[in-house]
Amino acid sequence: MTANGFYEEIIIAGFGGQGIMLTGKLLAQTAMQAGKEVTYMPSYGAEVRGGTANCMVIISETKIACPVVAKPDSLIVMNKASLNKFGPRLKNHGLLIMNSSLIDTEPQLDETIEIISIPADELAVELGSQKSANMVALGAYLQKRKLLTADQAGQALPNVLAKRYYKTLPVNIKALQCGAEFTKSCCKV
């Protein structure tokens, strides 16, 4: 937070194929459509399916200077390697959304960090598409931070999804809402 309203730095990480980049782009697109300033920075190394993938998103009420996130306010991790890599970089009093379907350990982090442990893969399978686990996690994040809503993300989704994937819009929108519902039920917010 700054005097001029909110300033939120987020890192989203997982393995290649989990839709990490799409999740970041969707968050950025949603923020832009809500009239916020935003930057999205992908890791663009030799990432391949099965390798690691991460991206940085900054959402702000005012112009963003530096697009590089050193210490995020929020971290969404979809697998264990990402938690190990980025967990220690989370700010104190930060927020961790972790995919408990693929992370079986308790994170050893500062006690001021709030943790939402969500079985994103299982919830997505129940909805009929395991690939939507990223949307479940994003929905949980949006509901917790309350800067943007899962509905807004659903409306922005067609703008970041290639048209050939439009048939997946309904299940992904459901997944966003499912994540939001999970946060509502697990945390008194």
Partner 1 sequence: MVEKGQISIGTEERVLMCGNEALAEAAILAGCDAYFGYPITPQNEIPAYMSRRMPEEGRVFVQSESELAAINMVFGASATGKRAMTSSSSPGISLMQEGMSFLAGAELPAVVVNVMRGGPGLGNIAPSQSDYFQATRGGGHGDYRTIVFGPSSVQEMADCISLAFELADKYLMTAMILADGFLGQMMEPVVLKKRPSVELPPKDWALTGAKDREQNIVRSLWLGEGVLEDLNFKLDDKYKQIQKNEVLCEEYEVDDAEIVVVAYGVAARIVSGAVTRAREEGIKVGWIRPITLWPFPTEQISKAADEFRLFLTVEMSTGQMVEDVKLAVAGKSPVVFYGRPGGGVPTVEEILDKIRQLTLGAKT
The residues of the shown chain that bind partner 1, judged by CB under 8 A, are 25, 28-29, 32, 37-42, 44-46, 65-68, 70, 159-160, 162-163
Q: Could you tell me the smallest distance in angstroms from the CB atom of residue 25 to partner 1?
A: 7
Query: Which of 38, 58, 47 is CA-nearest to residue 19?
Result: 47
Q: Could you tell me the smallest distance in angstroms from the CB atom of residue 142 to partner 1?
A: 17
14 contacts 72 by C-beta, under 8 angstroms: no
Q: Could you tell me the smallest distance in angstroms from the CB atom of residue 40 to partner 1?
A: 4
Q: Could you tell me the smallest distance in angstroms from the CB atom of residue 24 to partner 1?
A: 9
E strand intervals along the chain: 7-15, 37-42, 52-60, 74-77, 95-99, 114-118
Q: For residue 18, give every residue at least 6 positions away whose Cβ sits within 8 Å of its Cβ, in sequence order, or none.
A: 53, 78, 79, 133, 134
Neighbours of 67 (CB within 10 A): 13
Q: What are 50's two structure tokens?
A: 């099965």
